[in-house]
Each structure stands twice: as C-alpha cells, then as structure tokens.
A and B are shown apart, each in its own frame.
Chain A
Amino acid sequence: MNFRFLLELFVTWFKLGLFTFGGGFAMLPLIEKEVVEKGWATRDEILDIMAISQSVPGAIAINTAIYLGKRMAGFVGAIVAAIGVISPSVMVILAIAVYFVQFQENLYIMKAFSGIRAAIAGLITATAIRVASVNFHSKIAMTIIIGSLALNLFTSVHAAWIILLGAFVGYVVYHYLPNYK
C-alpha cells in the first residue's frame, strides 16, 4: 500500500469535508473539481456514485467518500477517505462544544456564513445547469429530468424513489426500445 497515495486521498477528502456546507448535492461541484481533475473518476461516474449514495442509508458525503476511497485503494482507502471527510466536522464541532463558543451570536461568523451561503447557491446552480445540459440528449432523458425536478420540488416523494423510478425507466427503454438513443 502506497503511503503517499493514502495521504493524498486523506488530504483530498479532508478538504472536501472542510468546504462542504449544506451537504448532499451541494458538495458535487467540489467533488468534481477535486476528484475528476485528479483522474480518479469521470463526471458520469461521480453522478452514479452520488445517486447510489443518496439511495442507501447513511450520510451522502460519507457514502460517496467510502465508495470512491474503496475504488482508489481498497478497504484501507475506504477507511482513509471516510476519516478524511469526517475529521473537519468533528474538529470544528468539538472546538465549539469544548470552548463553548457563542457561535450563533458571533457577528463575524454570521457575516462570513452569509457570504458562503450565497456562494453555494451560485456553485450549485452552475453545476445543475451543466449536469442537466449534458443529460439533455433525448426526449426520454429530458422527460426524466423535468419529471424528477418537479417530483422533488412539488411533492414529498423521497429522492431515493425518484432515483429508482429513473432506473426503472432506463430499464424499460432498454428492454422495449432497444434501438432508442
């Protein structure tokens, strides 16, 4: 096992854990930047992994870290990536709990956080547009995109069911319309 690679894996996931605010898909732009540029996975694979992470028990960030860590460096890689992505949260929360920082009443933290929240809105919008345009390649795909967006926004159907529905449509198209592209 290459120690330097494991260190790189840890540092990458530590960075992702440190700069992920809001969780879930909000971390996608950061994962794409860190993981795709290193050649660890393609953009499509990241989407697949996030879909799986969203559809099984556990926190999405941890699931994604474990899956990618396992792929890069086996069981040890999975553990290293998981510890990497968890460590920043543990450190920050322990610091707040131990030193009893009056976190919510700190004006400077509130101001900086308002800036970060606005940044996350810009980041996720850029990612959403890019991912949607990449997948807008057929009428069926367009229908799935719009349907899944509407189901998620306007109903309380769980995201895991929406992903499963997409999987079902994918299978039906393959089975009954084998020449459909």
Chain B
Amino acid sequence: MIYWELFISFFKVGLFTIGGGYAMLPLIQQEIEAYQWITTQEFIDILAIAEMTPGPVAVNTATFVGYKSAGVLGSLLATTAVALPSLIIILLLARFLEKYQEHPIMKAVFSGIRPAVAGLIGAAAIFIIRNTLFVVNGGTSLGLPDLRAVLIAIAVFIAVRYYKVDPIKVIIASAVVGLIIF
C-alpha cells in the first residue's frame, strides 16, 4: 500500500541521515528508485526547487514526492514521517541533557563543542560565499566575483553587524533589490 510505503521510506530517511540537508539526498534517491514514485527528471527538478524554496531539503522533497505519488494525503504523510524520528530522538535527548546540564563533565564537553561549531559556521560561511558570490563557469573552477551579489552581501553584512537590522527584513529587501539589479 502506497501510504504505508511512503511513510516507512521517509521515516528511514529521517532516521538514518545525520546532519540534514544534502546528506539526505542519496537515501531519498535510493527510496525513490526502489518504488518509482517519481521520474529521475522530476527528482532533479525537485532538487532545484528545494534549493530555491524555504525550509529543510528533507521536508521539501518529502512533500513533493508524497504529493506526486499519492496526493495531498501522501505529502502530509511523507512529511510527518521524515520529521517523526527527530521528535522521538530529540525528546529523549532533551530529557538526558536537562538532567545533566549542570554536571562539570557536561560543561567541559560543551566548552569543546562550542569552538568546534564556531569553526563549522566559519566553514559554512566560506562555502556559501564561494557558491553565491562568484560566477560559476562550469566545473569546480571559480569565476570572477559577481559584483551585484557582492554588493548585496556587503550591504547585508554591514546592516546586521553594525546596525542590528532584523535578518528577515534584510532578506525581503535583498529579494526586492535582486529583482531590480539582476
């Protein structure tokens, strides 16, 4: 039965991928190919759409695949399934962490985790800059910087770092500016 298959498949995707985002794609692709819910072309389309629409890639993909294969009910079922492992795991973990958060060992562990996360955020920033502010000229070689994108990024940087502007307002303004200058 398709509803059950959708549920189990996306539950597996939610359960077996750590780190979210594109790490989930190979597993999603495997499940889609096993059941032939959507065509390969549709899968490529949904990846492009998922990248341009808000929210987690996993949710975007689950909603799309669920709808294409089993309508609105299918989309809601697949999306619920992909989020359900998170609910179970995080709730169990939260209980444990709340109980021991004042423990010296726990504090020591997090004093090492915070700088590690700071480094990861730095890496994410470099990755995003590389992928958004440069003209891609095929393959992995970096092209020239796209001046319009660089200008927006610098304006945003100054607005949030020095003037504490609300990031949501900044995103909306940048979309409008993008409509005009690109």
Chain A contact residues, CB within 8 Å of chain B: 15, 17-26, 28-30, 33, 44, 47-48, 50-63, 66-67, 70-71, 75, 78-79, 82, 85-86, 88-90, 92-94, 96-98, 103-104, 108-132, 134-135, 141-142, 144-153, 158-160, 162-163, 165-171, 173-175
- Within 115-130 of B, Cβ neighbours of A (below 8 Å) are at 115-129
7 tightest A-B CB contacts, nearest first: A115-B178, A170-B112, A166-B116, A89-B55, A148-B119, A122-B156, A174-B108
Interface string of B126-154 (1 = CB under 8 A from A): 11110011000000000000001110111
Does B90 belong to the interface (CB within 8 Å)? yes
* Residues of chain B with a CB closer than 8 A to A127's CB: 121, 125
* Residues of chain A with a CB closer than 8 A to B98's CB: 71
* Residues of chain A with a CB closer than 8 A to B67's CB: 93-94, 97-98
User: Which residue of B133, B159, B167 contacts A118 across the interface (Cβ within 8 Å)?
Assistant: B133
* Residues of chain B with a CB closer than 8 A to A134's CB: 118
Question: By the criterion CB–CB under 8 Å, are A51 and B114 in contact?
Answer: yes
Q: Assuming A23-B55, A47-B118, A141-B114, what are 9 further A-B pairs, CB within 8 angstroms?
A: A52-B90, A56-B86, A57-B14, A60-B21, A79-B87, A86-B55, A120-B171, A158-B23, A170-B111
* Residues of chain B with a CB closer than 8 A to A152's CB: 119-120, 123-124
Closest to A15 in B: B168
Question: By the criterion CB–CB under 8 Å, are A122 and B153 in contact?
Answer: yes
- Interface residue tally on B, bucketed by range: 35 or more
- Expressed in whole angstroms, the Cα–Cα distance for A59 and B15 within the complex equals 10
Question: By the criterion CB–CB under 8 Å, are A86 and B59 in contact?
Answer: yes
Q: What's the minimum C-beta distance from B79 to chain A, rounded to whole angstroms?
A: 6
Q: What's the minimum C-beta distance from B40 to chain A, rounded to whole angstroms?
A: 16
- Given A17-B55, A94-B63, A149 contacting B122 (CB threshold 8 A): yes
Interface string of B23-53 (1 = CB under 8 A from A): 1100000000000000000000100111111
Q: List 17 A-B contacts (CB under 8 A).
A: A21-B53, A23-B20, A24-B21, A58-B89, A59-B83, A60-B20, A71-B94, A86-B83, A92-B55, A96-B53, A112-B175, A115-B177, A128-B122, A131-B117, A131-B118, A166-B113, A170-B108
Question: By the criterion CB–CB under 8 Å, are B18 and A158 in contact?
Answer: yes
- Expressed in whole angstroms, the Cα–Cα distance for A167 and B17 within the complex equals 21
- Given A94-B67, A171-B108, A66 contacting B86 (CB threshold 8 A): yes
Q: What's the minimum C-beta distance from A93 to chain B, rounded to whole angstroms?
A: 4
- Given A67-B94, A159-B120, A93 contacting B49 (CB threshold 8 A): yes
* Residues of chain B with a CB closer than 8 A to A29's CB: 160, 167
Interface string of B46-88 (1 = CB under 8 A from A): 0011111111111110011001100010011001001101110
- Expressed in whole angstroms, the Cα–Cα distance for A142 and B119 within the complex equals 9
Question: By the criterion CB–CB under 8 Å, are A167 and B112 in contact?
Answer: yes
* Residues of chain B with a CB closer than 8 A to A70's CB: 90-91, 94
Question: By the criterion CB–CB under 8 Å, are A145 and B115 in contact?
Answer: yes
